[in-house]
Amino acid sequence: MILFAEVPNFYAEIECQRTPGLRGHPVIVGGDPRKRGRVQSASPDACAAGVEPGMTMQDALERCPSATVVKTDMKLYREVSGRLRACLRAEVDAVEPVALESAYLDVSLSGADPDEIAARLVERVRDSLGLPLHLGIAPAKHLARLAAEEAPRGGSFRIAHGGEGDFLSPLSVSRLPGVGPKTLETLSGLGARTIGDLMRLDRATVERALGNHGLRILELVSGEIDSAVRGRRHPRSLSREHTFRPAEPDRSELWDRLQDLCRLLGEALQEQGLCARRVGVKVRFEDQQTTTRSHTLQAPVVTPADIYPVAVSLLDRTDAGARAVRVLGVNVAGLGPRPDDRQLELFS
């Protein structure tokens, strides 16, 4: 079985978790309404009022004038996304990320009950991140995604083997991936308003109307498309970076920030039970020129105390300190399971 795990309204949920006073009130996350900024995410209350991702913030506020507007904080969302994936990988070997807030998980070889795995994931994400995880459980990836849309807040919904047709038949064809407004209009013209209607259409009729795109949709609902989860137990690399506004010329400030970034990477390695064999540093100067340096180690690094000296030596090989720096980043790669006998230490 395959699981689709997702935190709906991801950005808005993070902002409500960061500022508890927002909970229970409509929240819109996006750009500046005065500069034609667009909606990136919205709380369920705001969505119920007609707010949709992609619309302008001005239009969103006309539909939901009582909403609180929060500026997008991608750095925070990426950090939480990494922690979310760490929670998923703690329970399941094969994880295929789809977006910051979602991933497919293959539990077919685990031997455990998918419902029990789903329950543990919901609990782990709630306890670790304070976020509600929705899960769909099904024999195929697209079915698992549709099932997740039926799941209750912080819960799961399962489509059993043999029950695929009964689940799909009454759903609107607009629920299928690849069915946009134009395809929906064409299918409606053929009399296919539900997936059940679509499955009863002749294959040649769909091909004449929609070509290969139509055949792919038919393959999707018939289960002919490969649903293998393409994922790894752990990521190939991790990175953290900081943007200086204005650009930073002071060497001591750069080295202090480097230590902070190494601490964050060490915490990420600790959360995911990983170690790294390569450390890299990225420096983008005020004129946008970018320099990278990296070093492969004989012994893996685990803690910030391991990472920082390597990062310092790499930063010393750049013009940082002599030229103002706009962006400073550190990454670790060559990741693998952490040896059990290593002592985990963090900077105080």
When pLDDT is cut at 50, 70 and 90, the band that residue 339 belongs to is low
Q: Alpha helix (H) ranges present in the chain?
A: 10-18, 44-48, 57-63, 74-89, 114-129, 141-150, 164-168, 181-189, 195-199, 203-222, 251-272, 304-315
Mean pLDDT, residues 35-43 taken together: 90
Q: What is the pLDDT of residues 279-319, one digit of tens each?
A: 999 999 998 899 999 999 888 888 888 899 999 999 999 99
pLDDT exceeds cutoff 60 at 341? no
The residue-averaged pLDDT of 253-275 equals 87
Output the pLDDT for position 196: 92
Residue-range domains of the chain with CATH = 1-159 (3.30.70.270), 169-222 (1.10.150.20), 237-337 (3.30.1490.100)
Q: How confident is the model at residue 345 (pLDDT cuts 50, 70, 90)?
A: very low
What mean pLDDT value characterizes the chain?
A: 88
Residue 270: its pLDDT value, please?
78
User: Residue 239, Cβ neighbours under 10 Å: how many?
Assistant: 18
Q: Which residue has the tokens 């009582």?
A: 66
Cα dist. 205→63, 223, 291 in Å? 41, 19, 56
Q: Which two tokens stand for residue 54?
A: 């992609």
Q: Tokens representing 35?
A: 């500069």
**List of long-range contacts for 43-52, beta carbons under 8 Å, 24+ apart:** 43/9, 43/12, 43/13, 43/16, 44/9, 46/12, 47/9, 51/26
> Model confidence at 50, in pLDDT bands (50, 70, 90)?
very high
Give 157-174 pLDDT, tens digit per residue: 999 888 888 899 999 999
Whole-prediction pTM = 0.70
pLDDT, residue 24, reads 87
For 62-121, what is each residue's pLDDT tens digit? Answer: 999 999 999 999 888 988 988 898 889 888 878 888 888 999 998 877 778 899 999 999
